A and B are shown apart, each in its own frame.
Chain A
Amino acid sequence: DTEVTQTPKHLVMGMTNKKSLKCEQHMGHRAMYWYKQKAKKPPELMFVYSYEKLSINESVPSRFSPECPNSSLLNLHLHALQPEDSALYLCASSQVLVETQYFGPGTRLLVL
């Protein structure tokens, strides 16, 4: 299985809602990543987990809260988002840090 899956594919939420994005891989990778991509812009790194521990937080606002409950699963909890947070959220995984990253198809988020 060489796939990274992400759910949901699309999400619409209000600014007072709480929602979660889910990412799963079964390749035995020990590093997992969250990226944010706005239209026509390159993906921007948000968080990196290595061996289920948070390794990098790129100064992301606290309304985004990552969680890595086990080596196959990565969540991104969303609370009190702003309309400017509307974007494509991509998850990726790699064998370990600095190895090739494999991406999921993303969750397209719209904040109203």
Chain B
Amino acid sequence: ILNVEQSPQSLHVQEGDSTNFTCSFPSSNFYALHWYRWETAKSPEALFVMTLNGDEKKKGRISATLNTKEGYSYLYIKGSQPEDSATYLCAARGETSGSRLTFGEGTQLTVNP
């Protein structure tokens, strides 16, 4: 089982602020990294899947980068809006994990108007 850690645990920002958070995973056994956005009482929403070192993905104001050599991914939100308030989960799949995803505990983002 992989050890996937996310920081910070929670974050409060003002509307319009840009923010970022981190997901770290073992670099020695890596296949893919997924980011999900999970609003309360809704389904976790798949944001990105990244596999290659240096990958950068973007969806609107949200982007993510991947560094497989050092075992981390950053998620960036530009110009945060109240509707961005959610828990952001990352999940890693190892080379020997098969179909297993190991999730981090998430970063809970609150954007104040």
When distances are taken between beta carbons in the complex, the residues of chain B under 8 Å from A12 are none
Contact A98 to B89, CB < 8 A, known contacts A103-B44, A104-B43, A105-B42: no
When distances are taken between beta carbons in the complex, the residues of chain A under 8 Å from B31 are 98
Contact A41 to B105, CB < 8 A, known contacts A103-B43, A103-B44: yes
Q: Would you give the shortest CB distance from A14 to chain B, in whole angstroms?
A: 25
Tell me the residues in window 68-106 of chain B with beta carbons closer than 8 Å to chain A beta carbons: 89, 93, 98-106
Q: B49 on the interface (CB 8 Å rule)?
A: yes
Interface contacts (Cβ under 8 Å), in number, total 50
Assembled-state Cα–Cα distance A45/B4 (Å)? 14
Q: A81 on the interface (CB 8 Å rule)?
A: no
Assembled-state Cα–Cα distance A102/B42 (Å)? 12
Assembled-state Cα–Cα distance A48/B101 (Å)? 11
Assembled-state Cα–Cα distance A33/B42 (Å)? 17
Interface residue tally on A, bucketed by range: 20 to 34
* Residue of chain B at shortest CB distance from A55: B99
Assembled-state Cα–Cα distance A45/B93 (Å)? 12
Partner of A42, one of B42, B46, B49, B106: B106
Contact A48 to B44, CB < 8 A, known contacts A42-B106, A98-B93: no
Listed residue (B31, B99, B105) with the most chain A CB atoms within 10 angstroms of its CB:
B99
Assembled-state Cα–Cα distance A106/B44 (Å)? 9
**Is A40 touching B99 in the complex (CB atoms < 8 A)?**
no
Sorted nearest first, the 3 A-B pairs with minimum C-beta distance are: A42-B103, A97-B99, A103-B44
A→B interface (CB under 8 Å): 3-4, 31, 33, 40-43, 45, 48, 50, 55-56, 90, 94, 97-98, 100-106
**Please, could you name 12 A-B residue pairs with CB atoms under 8 Å apart, sorted by A?**
A4-B43, A31-B99, A48-B99, A50-B99, A56-B99, A97-B99, A98-B93, A100-B34, A101-B46, A102-B43, A103-B36, A103-B46
